[in-house]
Amino acid sequence: MLNLIVKDFLLINRGLIKQAICFIICIALLQFLGASAVYIGIPVIMTLGTLLASYGLGEKNNVDVLINSLPVNGREVVLSKYLSALIFLCFSIITNIVFSTVIKLSGFSHINRFINIEDIAICIVFIAFYVSIYVPIYLLFGYTKTRGFSTILQLIEFFALLFVIMIFTFVDNGTGVSSIISFFSRPHFKLTMAISSLVSSIIIVAVSIFISLKIYINREF
């Protein structure tokens, strides 16, 4: 399974420098919208972009067909899709932390806080939601035939992401409705939210993996 995950990284390794530049540009621009836009928006967007790029390059180079011709367990192939998404997200979060911290400490930053557990939890939920819905469809029809569906799903994620970022920004700045600020300021809210998000993500991903396994086993390459 490790080789399958490494394969996804090798497919997009030529774009790492470009991705690093995108991180810096995005942080430099989105910092004016608030810390939540930097710590939530950028990791989710960059992870989705990297994930879809790996799928597109994989289909272009007939990687899935090649893998299916090898003595590889179907379960490992399916699980690698989900693990790759998780690793891409971790990589995006870590990279984001490094660049945003450098910019924040430079003295030219408008970011008023560091990343927290809420930000990471929200990132996990958004990626888990996207992967859980998209991967089964991708395994059933392939990358090219699912571009339209992927675009619609990305738009849904974008507007939902924008809504969440706005709420968190209002809470961070203390400019939101007092009832909303009080709700987010409750004792142990961050820990409860993080645990609930993690449990929910695990459940929807587990269901998605089960469906993906059924699809992959019956798929014709």
pLDDT category at 9 given cuts 50, 70, 90 is low
* Contacts of residue 12, Cβ cutoff 8 Å, sequence gap at least 6: 19, 50, 53, 54, 57
pLDDT digits (tens, 9 = 90+) for 66-105: 666 655 677 878 888 898 899 889 988 998 888 888 877 7
Tokens matching residue 138? 């991708």
User: How far is residue 154's CA from residue 64's CA, in Å, rounded to a whole number?
Assistant: 23
Res. 120: pLDDT tops 60:
yes
Lowest mean pLDDT among 17-21, 109-113, 123-127, 142-146: 17-21
Instruction: Indicate the length of the chain as a whole number.
Output: 221
pLDDT category at 125 given cuts 50, 70, 90 is very high
Tokens matching residue 20? 């690093």
pLDDT of residue 209: 94
* Contacts of residue 11, Cβ cutoff 8 Å, sequence gap at least 6: 53, 54, 57, 58, 61, 63
pLDDT category at 163 given cuts 50, 70, 90 is confident
Res. 134: pLDDT tops 90:
yes
User: How far is residue 108's CA from residue 145's CA, in Å, rounded to a whole number?
Assistant: 45
pLDDT category at 143 given cuts 50, 70, 90 is confident
Helical ranges in the chain per DSSP H: 2-12, 16-30, 35-36, 42-60, 63-68, 74-105, 117-141, 147-173, 178-184, 189-218
Q: Between these two residues, 15 and 92, which has the higher pLDDT value?
A: 92
Q: What is the sign, positive or negative, of the torsion defined by CA atoms of 142, 154, 104, 28?
A: positive
Beta carbons of 78 and 161 less than 8 angstroms apart = no
pLDDT digits (tens, 9 = 90+) for 173-216: 666 556 555 666 665 666 777 788 888 889 999 999 999 998 88
pLDDT digits (tens, 9 = 90+) for 37-76: 888 888 998 898 888 888 877 777 666 666 666 556 778 7
pLDDT of residue 179: 57
